[in-house]
Amino acid sequence: MNCITNVAKCTARVRVHYTSRERPDDYTFAVARGTNIPHTGSGYVYRIRPGKDQSPCPDCHGKRKSSWWKIYVRTACHVVFNTHEAKAAKVDLFFDDEKACEDGRIKTMLGMEVVEKNLNGDRCELVCVTHDLVLVKELESLME
């Protein structure tokens, strides 16, 4: 039962606020290409790696942060098609109910890039960035 609970806690809501012009004509959300019409899906955290060098976080403006991490999220290609969309994505963790927004339980990460995708299998690997050590420790404990 703990395994199921931990997997559920690693599940994420993926919010994308841009639709790439590179989506094929017959692909999901193709009619929204080039717009900021948001779309939403789900994914799950499956890997965490420490960041190196400068943080890619837009809030850091290329400055070196003492510590940051790459959080890998597996989602569907129809949710995040490419890196253009990844950079416009926000990934929410611990979105259990509407009250989670109000009481601050939700942790939001910024999308950074798509490192792998499989159109036929409708899956992609989205890399997110965070500076939140507490979040990293919590996710690592859930993934053990």
Burial of residue 28 (CB within 10 Å: 0-12, 13-18, 19+) is: middle
Enclosing domain of residue 65: 2-143
> In b/e form, how buried is each residue of 99-116, taking b as 16+ CB within 10 angstroms?
eeeeeeeebbbbbbbbee
**33 token code pair:** 């290409």
pLDDT of 64: 63
pTM, entire model: 0.89
pLDDT of 142: 85
**25 token code pair:** 């004509």
Return per-residue pLDDT of the chain as tens, 144 residues: 666 676 677 889 999 999 999 999 999 999 999 999 999 999 999 999 999 877 787 777 666 667 899 999 999 999 999 999 999 999 999 877 777 777 778 899 999 999 999 999 999 999 999 999 999 999 998 887
Q: Tally the domains of the chain.
A: 1
Distances in Å between the Cα of 29 and the Cα atoms of 38, 80, 89, 115 are 10, 11, 15, 21
- Give the CATH number of the domain where residue 98 resides: 2.40.10.10
